Amino acid sequence: MFTLAESASGAIVLPAFGDQLSRAVPLAVRAEIGYKKLAKGPVTATATLGRPIAEVIAELDAGQRPEFPVSIAIQREDEAVSGEMTVVWTLRPNS
């Protein structure tokens, strides 16, 4: 489940900040996962950005190294949440 959630977080970060790749690299800083219910079958992961894209880019424009959370819900086929994860990302400016 960790790998699924981490992949989902990257899948939302790249489209959100892909246009910034010429000047910054998105890097995962830390991750925390909570296991809620047993999952014995197929699961899906849904990722949500925790900050507005424009706000993060404004910090990058100001010369900062912005951090932003991505929340991921992992659900079973019956829609029960089997796990939740938060990955904190940063945009590291290129030197």
Task: Please count the other Cβ atoms lying within 10 Å of the Cβ belonging to residue 48.
Answer: 12
Q: What angle do CA 89, 91, 95 make, to 5 degrees?
A: 145
| CA-to-CA separations, 3 to 36, 72, 74, 92, 94, in angstroms, rounded | 16, 12, 11, 23, 27
Given pLDDT bands bounded at 50, 70 and 90, which one contains residue 82?
very high
Distance between CA atoms of 76 and 88, rounded to whole angstroms?
Answer: 24
Please report the pLDDT score of residue 47 as a whole number.
Answer: 98
Question: What are the chain's domains?
Answer: 1-93 (3.10.129.10)
pLDDT tens for residues 23-75? 999 999 999 999 999 999 999 999 999 999 999 999 999 999 999 999 999 99
Given pLDDT bands bounded at 50, 70 and 90, which one contains residue 2?
very high
Please report the pLDDT score of residue 86 as a whole number.
Answer: 98
